[in-house]
Structure formats: C-alpha cells, structure tokens
Amino acid sequence: MSQHSHQILLLAFPLVQSLDVTGPLEVFAAANRAMEEDGKVAPYQITLAGPHKGPVDSTCGIPLLASAGFLEQDLSADTVILAGGSGARECINDRSLIEKVRVICEQSRRVVSICTGAFPLAATGLLDGHHATTHWSRCAEFETQFPLIDLDPNAIFVSDGKFHTSAGVTAGIDLSLALVEQDLGCQIALEVARELVVFLKRPGGQSQFSARLTVQADMKDSDRFSELVRWVANNLHKDLSVEILSARLAMSPRNFTRRFLEVIGQTPAKYVNAMRIDAARRLLTDGEVPIGTVAKQCGFNTIETMRVSFQRYLKVSPQDFRDRFQSIDVPGRIPGPGRKNIFGAARN
DNA sequence: GTAACATCCCGCCATA
DNA sequence: AATATGGCGGGATGTT
C-alpha cells in the first residue's frame, strides 16, 4: 500500500476488444474512481500498447499507443500486463516482437499475463524454471512448447517472483483485483470488486471456482453447453443434478460429466455450486432479501446448506458477507479484525 | 460436531 | 485402427 502512482503497461496482441484487455482495464479504472471518491489522486496510469492489427480506436477511454511503431517505442512501466486472446499464441515466433517484449518485461517490477498472454511471455524465456499457468484448454500446447516452465494447469493464478500468470480471462480480472489489493489495500479492492460484481475467489492455487467461465467458441458442442449454462443461471432454484442436466442435453450422465469438464473447465456440481454462490452473493449485497429467501432462490435447499457452502468457499457466513459489504456504505466504519481480506485468509 | 445418507465424479473397460 | 460414448464401481465429497 503506497501513495505513489503505479504505471501500468497493457500489452494487447492483435485483438484489442477481447475481455482479456477490457477486463483489467475496467478493474484499474474502477480503482482510480474509487480513490478519487476518497479524495485521493488516481493512482493508476495506464498505457495500452501492442502490435495489434485490429481497429485502432480506444478502449474504455484509454487511447491506444504504438500500434505500428511498437518495436521502436521506448516502453517501460512499473507493471506490464500481457493480455491473451486471439493472436497471442500466434506471435511467439515473431522474434523481434518477442525480443521487444522481453526487454520490457525485464525492466518491469511486475509482469502479469492473462490467459494465453502467457505464451508470448514464455517465449521470451524469462519464465524458464518458474511456476506459471495459462488457459486450461491450452495447457497441453503450452507444456510441449515450453518444457522448461513449471506449469500448473489447475491454478487460477500463479505468482512466482515478479511473474504472475492467470488462467482464464475472468481469472485475469480476479488477478487484477488482487494487484489492486496489493497496491491500494483491501478497502479499495472491496469497492472495486463490488462495483464490478466480480465473483470473489480464494488466492491462487485453488481451482474450485473461477467465476463464470467463458465457453471456448472454437470448441465442438460449445453451443449446446453455453445454452445449458445460460439455462442453469436462470434456473438456479431448480434441481440441477447431473442426472437432470445430462437429460437436457440427451446425454448419458457419464458422458455429460466428461464433456462438461472439457468444455466448461469445471465439473458440473462445482460449477452449479459456484453459480449459486455467485447469485447469492449478489442478492446479499444488492438487496434486503432475507437470508432464508436468498438460500431458496439460489437453489440451496436450506440456510444451513448455503452457510456450509459459503464457509467452505468464501470463508465467511452469508450474514458476515452481507455485513461486510454493506459496511462499505457506512462512513467511518471499519471492518473488524480478521475480516480485512476478501480473498481469503492465506496470502503470500 | 458428527453421523448417516446422498450424490458426485473419475478410472476402467465394453461397446458403437 | 482409432475415436467417442456409456455403464459400473466405489472412494471422495457434499447434505441433512
């Protein structure tokens, strides 16, 4: 936690419009707003740059720099973020580009990659011998390309020294949030998280829920599954057992479980549970709905079930969760001891 | 907290 | 031959 400003360089590979880029931008922009509301100076100065080929306008109000002259520009920052998405994997054979990335990363205090942004980072060789992660669907490819890197396919995000790599795009949002917490403290991170309605999760290394996963578009059957996922989100109060869900897609439970894991990246029950906690979280923060009603609406049969789930995954009870978030609106009220870290107890 | 009960989910193998 | 699917068993995990 410090008063000085943080310079952030966001490297976007060909596609600028992807959530990999806009997600972190939103987080840091929200952090700036939160600080300004507190009467402080907006701490984050963000530069968006990259060798992209997409439309050259601005994203989230951040002007895009250095598209054509990317290699020539003198770019450095406190924190550099390599966004993933379309084009990130393809550019690892562009030697001059990778060399440029390497120089930038070497000069930076913190290096962050999101999703497949890990590929260009890995290509620099800087990650060799380090722990890292990337999007689950690209892990096999990553491992064969970069055998010297210690890949953890199950982690949401991995921190190793100055390098922080994250799994999916939503994990990138979570990671940005963690950086904000590191830089500005828990209070601001809380406000940002609340504003963005990002699903809260535990520190890296825990794979049980990584928020709402974006279904890979290029994957077979993804249409059926994304439709199912949408249906699930709208029917959380119903019975969402494997048996019921598999019947909806006219699959055997065994095959459904297998395909669900492949396409969505999580097992059915875990995913459903994550969605339920997510929904409950929103109802608890955004309204005055009694906790028992929240539990029912979100598909937890009883308050007890919901409480167990909250304790297990968020390390707080529903009541604590509600109190904590609503306390933000009360000036001067400070969360009690042991409640300061929304990301869970353990940190590193 | 705990115990009984239910469901999940993943390896293994047969079948399509 | 190679691949996708489905059934089964039972330890792991979750619910009441």
Q: DSSP labels for A188-245?
A: HHHHHHHHHTPPP-PSTT--S--SSPPPPTTSTTHHHHHHHHHHHHH-TTS---HHHH
Q: Is the model's pLDDT at A344 over the cut of 50? A: no
Alpha helices in chain A (DSSP H): 19-37, 95-107, 118-123, 139-145, 169-184, 186-196, 222-234, 242-248, 253-264, 268-286, 291-297, 303-314, 318-326
CA–C1' gap, A64 and C4, in angstroms: 46
- pLDDT (tens digit per residue) in A286-331: 557 789 998 998 999 899 999 999 888 777 788 887 776 543 333 3
* A110-114 β-sheet, strand order: A64-65, A44-49, A6-11, A79-82, A110-114, A163-166, A157-160
Higher pLDDT, A104 or A67: A104
Look at residue A18 in the predicted model and tell me its pLDDT: 60
Nearest nucleotide relative to A267: CA against C1' = B9
Measured N-to-C along each axis, helices A268-286 and A318-326 cross at an angle, to the nearest 10 degrees, of 40
pTM: 0.53
**Sign of the C-alpha dihedral, residues A78, A61, A159, A74?**
negative
Task: For residues A116 and A102, give the distance between their C-alpha atoms in angstroms, rounded to a whole number.
Answer: 16
Which nucleotide across the nucleic acid strands is nearest to A244, CA versus C1'? B7
List of A residues 315-344 with CB within 7 A of strand C: none
Pairing relationship of beta strands A6-11 and A110-114 according to DSSP bridges: unpaired
- For tokens 């984050």, what's the residue? A44
Q: Calculate the angstrom distance between C1' of C11 and CA of A104.
A: 49
Q: Sorting pLDDT into bands at 50, 70 and 90, what band is A341? A: very low
Straight-line distance from CA A318 to C1' C2, in Å? 51
User: In the prediction, which pLDDT does A186 show?
Assistant: 66
Report the mean per-residue pLDDT for chain A: 75
User: By the 8 A CB rule, do A308 and A276 touch?
Assistant: no
Nucleotide whose C1' lies closest to the alpha carbon of residue A254: C6
Gap from A251 CA to B16 C1', Å: 15
CA A109 vs CA A146, A246, A261, A267: distances in Å = 23, 48, 36, 37
State the nucleotide closest to A240 in CA–C1' terms. Answer: B7
Decide which of A97 and A212 is more confident.
A97
Asked if the model's pLDDT at residue A204 lies above 50, the reply is no
